[in-house]
Copies of this chain bind each other. A is one copy, B any other.
Amino acid sequence: MEKIKPRTLSGFMELLPAEQQKMERIMETLRRTYSLYGFTPLDTPLIESAEVLLAKGGGETEKQIYRFTKGDSDLALRFDLTVPLAKYVALNYSRLAFPFRRYQIGKVYRGERAQRGRFREFYQADIDIIGDGRLDIINEAEIPSIIYRTFTSLGLTRFKIRVNNRKILSGFYDILGLAERSGDIMRTVDKLDKIGPEKVRALLMDEEIGVTAEQAEEILRFIAIKGTNAEVLDALGAYTGRSELFDTGLAELGAVTRYLDAFGVPEQNFAIDLSIARGLDYYTGTVYETVMTDYPEVGSVCSGGRYDNLAEYYTDRPLPGVGISIGLTRLFYVLNEQKMLSDDIITAPADALVIPMTENTAFAVSACTVLRDAGIRTALYTEDKKFKAKMSYADRLGYPFVVLIGEDEAAQGLVSCKNMQTGRQEMLSADAAAELIAAELKRRGEAAIIKEK
């Protein structure tokens, strides 16, 4: 038979088993953390009607989209989880209770140019809180605590949540008389980290935006305001009374900062940063970015913000919200590249491998059943191989425990349980082995998946 060469498409991440176990561990941690904050899981189709998905239309996204027809239907693969959420909320409005808090961890598709570390199929892990008509500022204040708990639960401590408020920025440009150009200005200022202040100044003053040298100076001085949260808030106080929008924004930023302590976020993981605007046009209040302290070049690993109209393309109803998104596949890729994924977690398919050493395997099978009934994840080695081959299989897959059953064991109704980490082996009943394994796994505890150097 002629063979087809097996291959996986470029830009599509497909992990080996041990790596996949680490990815699963991260997803499990995210699910648990999001649940801890009262977000309900949601699962929407990968495919939507193109008309619905592209309601907003235009832009970079439309070029990257996977769009195709099936029968008479014009279809597309989702390119983010926000548009499907907007559709879902508009469609099910009367059946949901607001504020509606949902998380979704799912794959999205963008046909970007393939390059190392860029993915065409990738997981996003999103949370959003949607209000009906209004949504209290306290929701914006809660987001940093969710980001904080998410990353610390994964084992990362060296990160900073950077926060700003779009109303402060827009208000500031109002004060300068640059309100109409504020969108362009913010997109330029957003590049500060990448291109530095002098190039930002040049871009601001070039024809397209055309601010004066004085205005550019004011802008650069403004976004350069640095210090502790209290110092930054203090410095911003100097601008109050000149723009209502600015004053509202400053009050919101103050509230977000004030709640940090009650939400359990240490100041060292949080910084007001006036240079952050987030490129997307629909953010209207607090905006968030999260950077790994030792890897600033990676950029933000968790971003989002407050918006006023989630579903404006589907409904007249104002549905304000706040949300953040983690680009999970890229984060996993980066952590893997930086060797920051811990080798201390169990990546074996199970906790114990039961190895029968005689042809009579019935007793070994019963031992498996005892272990499983006790909640021990147990694999049975089934093939007729030499002892060395069996042990090398256990080694290769990294089983923490091997349970050996030879003639002696079967005759006495016992098993030999070997701790593969310590090498210690003891003969005992299957029940006792289950207890021993459970106790040892508990003692080792759950290693964090991310290991900082």
Contacts and interface: CB of A to CB of B under 8 A. Distances in A.
A16 B366 CA distance: 42
B36 A138 contact: no
B349 A101 contact: yes
Contacts of A97: 393, 396-397
Contacts of A174: none
Interface residues of A, number: 105
B373 A264 contact: yes
A404 to B, nearest CB: 16
Interface in A48-69: 48-49, 51-52, 55, 66, 68-69
A167 interface: no
A353 B52 contact: no
A37 B383 contact: no
B259 A362 contact: yes
Contacts of A88: 6, 8, 14
A139 interface: yes
A341 to B, nearest CB: 16
B379 A38 contact: yes
B145 A369 contact: yes
Given A14-B45, A383-B135, A393-B97, A349 B40 contact: yes
A99 interface: yes
Given A99-B382, A315-B6, A379-B101, A21 B48 contact: no
A162 to B, nearest CB: 21
Interface stretch (A70-78, A181-189, A285-293): A70-78
A100 to B, nearest CB: 8
Given A24-B41, A46-B121, A380-B138, A3 B315 contact: yes
A121 to B, nearest CB: 5
Interface string A321-341: 000000000000000000000
Given A40-B17, A44-B14, A372 B68 contact: no
Given A15-B43, A102-B17, A75 B9 contact: yes
Interface stretch (A226-234, A306-314, A417-425): A306-314
A289 to B, nearest CB: 23
B136 A39 contact: no
Interface in A69-92: 69-71, 73, 75, 86-88, 90-92
Contacts of A45: 8-9, 12-14, 121
Contact of A51 (B4, B43, B138): B4
Contacts of A144: none
Interface string A358-388: 0001110110110011011111101110000
Contacts of A209: none
Contact of A311 (B6, B13, B107, B379): B6
A379 B375 CA distance: 31
A309 B171 CA distance: 68
Given A6-B90, A38-B380, A262-B369, 15 more contacts: A3-B316, A4-B55, A4-B314, A6-B315, A14-B44, A15-B43, A17-B96, A20-B41, A23-B43, A35-B377, A36-B378, A37-B372, A66-B70, A264-B369, A264-B373
Interface of A: 1, 3-9, 12-17, 20-21, 23-24, 35-49, 51-52, 55, 66, 68-71, 73, 75, 86-88, 90-92, 95-97, 99, 101-102, 107, 109, 111, 121, 129, 131, 134-136, 138-139, 141-142, 145, 149, 258-259, 262-264, 311-316, 349-350, 353, 361-363, 365-366, 368-369, 372-373, 375-380, 382-384, 393, 396-397
14 contacts: A3-B313, A4-B314, A6-B88, A6-B91, A8-B88, A9-B47, A12-B45, A14-B44, A17-B102, A20-B40, A37-B379, A38-B349, A97-B393, A262-B363
What 7 A-B pairs come out closest when comparing CB atoms?
Answer: A38-B379, A68-B68, A38-B350, A262-B365, A40-B349, A12-B45, A6-B314
